[in-house]
Amino acid sequence: MKENKKRKNYFSNEGTDKKKKKRLALENGMRGFLCTCNFRERDCIREAYNLLNEYSDKICESQKKQLETLDIEGKVELVENELTVNKNVEEKDYNIKQITEDISVALNKEIDELKAEAVKPLSQKRFQVIDTGVKNVIFIKSMIPDTLELLTAIIEDLQKTKKQKTRYLLRMLPIQIVCKAYLDDIKPKVEVLFEQYFTQEPKTFCIVFNRRSNSNLHRNEVIDDLAQIISKKNPGNRTNLKNPDIAVVIEVIRAVCLISIAPLYFTYKKYNLLEICNQKIKI
């Protein structure tokens, strides 16, 4: 009986290992969210999915309402202008009811697309866990176009309400770029990314460098090179290590570099979700 029980446990563990191996690995060109946890990775992943889906749904709903309002106002304005220009045109050609029906059809189509999203294969969904190869560090790949917008919505709501929504998920960063952990790969990528954030009005900034399971990329070299790029974008940009407008966070994990633009990094407790809610981290 004891031998059978041991065999059963052995095969059970083997199945678990196989499931872990099925996770996709970090690759160039991905974007998403880097999460850290306290030893409960499965619970952390569940909390991350719940949080990201909750707020991405809110953003989608808000954007849909705005588009609906703009669409209706624009079409009504077009009708009024046309009627003013040509008073002889029959009113039936500008039937407001028909316009409303057209909008309804478009909205129903969008709803159907959102429903279809829910039954897509895992590889096509908005969020998907990716294996980092490092314990307590999780990457959630995302198909949404703006990871910073979504995480900002989460952070601002937590800052306002102080309502704790995670227990095992500690820190979450928006990752805009994933590339190889070599300066020759990093520099051309950040050149493009920094155009969006550092070319207009002057900003204060800092560069945060974290490294895990990598000894090839050197902290000072990375910080110096990226600071020079930022300064060239706008001579008014200045470093501020205590309370910068924007932190550029470089997370090196094995042979991969993850790059994050994190506004108000220290104001938002380095994007630690528990600390934002004034909760102590429990291990």
Please tell me the predicted confidence (pLDDT) of residue 61: 84
Distance of alpha carbon 259 from alpha carbon 175, whole angstroms: 6
Distance of alpha carbon 193 from alpha carbon 173, whole angstroms: 16
Please tell me the predicted confidence (pLDDT) of residue 121: 45
**Which tokens is 230 given?**
């930022």
**Which tokens is 142 given?**
């995302």
Reference 256, options 5, 29, 9; nearest CA is 29
> Helix %, strand %, coil % for the chain, to 5?
50, 20, 25
- Tens digit of each residue's pLDDT, the chain (283 residues): 555 555 444 444 444 444 445 568 899 999 999 999 988 999 999 999 999 999 999 988 877 777 666 555 555 555 555 555 555 545 555 566 666 666 667 666 666 665 555 444 444 578 999 999 999 999 999 999 899 999 999 999 999 999 999 999 999 999 999 999 999 999 999 999 999 999 999 999 999 999 999 999 999 999 999 999 999 999 999 999 999 999 999 999 999 999 999 999 999 999 999 999 987 655 4
Please tell me the predicted confidence (pLDDT) of residue 119: 46
Beta bridge partners of 127: 142
pTM of the predicted structure, to 2 decimals: 0.73
Beta bridge partners of 129: 140
> Tell me, what DSSP letter sits at residue 26?
P
Please tell me the predicted confidence (pLDDT) of residue 62: 74
User: To which residue do tokens 């954007």 refer?
Assistant: 63
| Domains detected in the chain | 26-64+121-276 (3.30.2130.30)
Please tell me the predicted confidence (pLDDT) of residue 281: 58
Helix axes of 96-118 and 41-85: crossing angle, nearest 10 degrees: 160
Please tell me the predicted confidence (pLDDT) of residue 278: 86
Please tell me the predicted confidence (pLDDT) of residue 131: 92
Distance of alpha carbon 211 from alpha carbon 28, whole angstroms: 17
Please tell me the predicted confidence (pLDDT) of residue 25: 87
Distance of alpha carbon 42 from alpha carbon 49, whole angstroms: 11
Neighbouring residues of 186: CB distance < 8 A, sequence distance ≥ 6:
179, 180, 222, 226, 250, 257, 259
Q: 88 in the Ramachandran plot: left (φ > 0), alpha (ψ -120 to 50) or beta?
A: alpha
- DSSP-derived 3-state class of residue 248: strand
Please tell me the predicted confidence (pLDDT) of residue 11: 44
CB 133 within 8 A of CB 25: yes
Please tell me the predicted confidence (pLDDT) of residue 177: 97
Please tell me the predicted confidence (pLDDT) of residue 252: 97
Distance of alpha carbon 267 from alpha carbon 276, whole angstroms: 9
For residues 70, 72, 74, 78, the Cα torsion angle rounded to the nearest 10 degrees is 180
